Amino acid sequence: MASSTKDVHFVLLPLMQQGHMIPMIDIARILANHHATVTIITTPVNATRFKPAIDRAIQAKLKIQVIELQLPLAEVGLPEGCENFDMLPSIDLFVKMYASMDKLEKPLEHVLKRLTPAPSCIISDNQFPWTTDLAHRFGIPRLVFHGPGCFTYLCLHIVMNTNVLNEISSDLDYFVLPGIPDRIKLTKGQASGWGKRGTKEMDDFFDRMSVAEEAADGIVVNSFEELEPNYVKLLNEAKGKKVWCIGPVSLHNRSVLDMADRGNKAGIDEHDCLKWLDMKELRSVIFVCLGSMSSFCNEQVFELGLGLELCNVPFIWCIRSTTDEMEKWLLGYEERVKDRGVIIRGWAPQVLILSHKAVGGFVTHCGWNSTLEGVSAGVPMVTYPQFADQFLNERFVIDVLKTGVSIGVEVPVGVGEQDKYGVLVKKENIKTAVESVMNDEREGKARRERARELGEMAKRAMVEGGSSYLNTTLMIQDIIEELAKNA
């Protein structure tokens, strides 16, 4: 039985997707910094992605370890080595990935039986519904980790647990979301992008997820109370359980190496990147990075590049993957913009770039990690959502925080669907949105000032005595008390 923090053993099970894994690895290191023992459960391919960060934590004498479990991919019809959602070519294969994840229950049960000290609590992604049953079998709490913040989480709760969408006929029709303090207008397609079902398997999976969440002991959110105080309270009431806001967890990374090594190996040397930024004026650079799961047709990539060229603003543009046609186009493009533009192919050291004083704006897909990293850096954002919860996060940035400008995307585009939709954002829209965020005129100045204030609040939340630091301490204490009760 745990009687103090040093006796508590957290087992963390992150979803195999960059946007979920990265914050969970930060959470693991935060808990270990609070003197808890932490075991991260993942698969071999995913373990290699964050190995440098974990190795440094171990060298710093933190009680943290990684245990690898193999996904039975062949059994469900997925290619060997395809262990992360960002490796799946189509959204249709997600159901097979979920089927393989379900088969980790027994192997994890064997692992938990052998752990020393015995596990005290499981923190698992909401997309591992079976971990609630597993935790109960061991007589320990399960806390749910859900990717987005409290605002988006509450909006999803309303969409999925009321009939609000039933009254709207077309996916393109706008409506005002009921039951929240701010006036949020969305289309049916934007509101239902996360948890799109469509098949019996996905229906069953989301039903199981919902039941498991209801039976869980609490919710861990990568956010901070000062960012969305009304929504923390409302989410608490809607879910009927404790909501622990312990972020922004990215701010736990303070060294250049920790900031550069979050997720995959960066497609640029961090020192070259910093050297380039050091030569730029204060808040003059726009950073463009549209997520690990985003996919665009060739023509949309060209349009984005031309929009950046038209702006006449220095930029760093991260392109996740390129085709032969893109590479041909980029040859001439890079030559034209070489004096003021840097293109990163693959993974970008995002936190490192955003934290540099030369960066004055961020074009983002509005994944929650990126949104919160933009908030933490104190920069205004150009919002360019694609699917899932991203349109809700966009509304949070624009309508609640008032620190963003929309690029004008209205239609969700799923993984692998980019060629079906073609160009959705023209170069002129890109130019207008970027210039609007980067200018220092009245509206731009007010937006920039609000962004700066939120960045300061985020930093205060994470230091000793701040709201998120305190919530982490109280959450650990709560687990200790829960175990004492059940002993």
Each residue of 30-54: pLDDT tens digit?
999 999 999 999 999 999 999 999 9
pLDDT of residue 356: 96
pLDDT of residue 198: 64
- Polymer length in residues for the chain: 487
Token output for 443: 């509206």
Mean pLDDT of 451-475: 98
Give CA separation, 37 vs 9, 361, 479, in Å: 5, 38, 13
pLDDT of residue 82: 92
Query: Where do we find the tokens 């808990």?
Result: 31
Give percent of the chain above pLDDT 70: 95
- Tens digit of each residue's pLDDT (9 = 90 or more) over 210-254: 999 999 999 999 999 999 999 999 999 999 999 999 999 999 977
Mean pLDDT of 315-339: 93
User: Residue 415 pLDDT more than 80?
Assistant: no
Can you tell me the distance from the alpha carbon of 397 to that of 410, in angstroms, rounded to the nearest whole number?
16
Give the mean pLDDT of the chain.
Answer: 92
The distance in angstroms from the start CA to the end CA of the chain is 7
Is 449 within 8 Å of 403 (Cβ atoms)?
A: no
Token output for 43: 């698969």
- Tens digit of each residue's pLDDT (9 = 90 or more) over 55-72: 999 999 999 999 999 999
Residue 340 three-state SS: coil
Asked whether the domain spanning 266-459 has the same topology as the one spanning 5-252+461-486, the reply is: yes
DSSP assignment string, 167-208: T---TT-EEEPSSSSS--EEEHHHHTSTT---SHHHHHHHHH
b/e sequence 272-296, b meaning 16+ C-beta within 10 Å: ebbebbeebeebbbbbbbbbbbbbb
CATH number, domain 5-252+461-486: 3.40.50.2000
Confidence bin at 417 (pLDDT 50/70/90): confident
Sheet with 341-345: strands ordered across: 341-345, 315-319, 285-289, 359-364, 381-383, 404-406
Q: Among 137-146, 161-170, 187-196, 437-446, which stretch is predicted with the lowest mean pLDDT? A: 187-196
Mean pLDDT of 144-164: 92
Is 19 within 8 Å of 369 (Cβ atoms)?
A: yes
Mean pLDDT of 185-203: 79
pLDDT of residue 3: 57
pLDDT of residue 328: 95
pLDDT of residue 161: 86
Mean pLDDT of 269-273: 83
- DSSP letter assigned to residue 356: S
Give CA separation, 31 vs 67, 143, 205, in Å: 17, 14, 30
Can you tell me the distance from the alpha carbon of 149 to that of 151, in angstroms, rounded to the nearest whole number?
6
Mean pLDDT of 429-434: 97
- Tens digit of each residue's pLDDT (9 = 90 or more) over 81-111: 899 998 887 778 889 999 999 999 999 999 9
pLDDT of residue 86: 86
pLDDT of residue 1: 47
Is 246 within 8 Å of 470 (Cβ atoms)?
A: no
Mean pLDDT of 416-435: 91
Does CATH place domain 266-459 in 3.40.50.2000? Answer: yes
How is the chain split into domains, by residue range?
5-252+461-486, 266-459
Q: Which class for 336: exposed (0-12), middle (13-18), buried (19 or more C-beta within 10 A)? A: exposed
Can you tell me the distance from the alpha carbon of 106 to that of 122, in angstroms, rounded to the nearest whole number?
15
Diameter of the chain measured on Cα atoms: 68
DSSP assignment string, 250-295: GGG--SHHHHHTSSSPBSS-HHHHHHHHHTSPTT-EEEEE--SS--
pLDDT of residue 292: 77
Token output for 158: 């309303």
Give percent of the chain above pLDDT 90: 75
Mean pLDDT of 168-179: 92
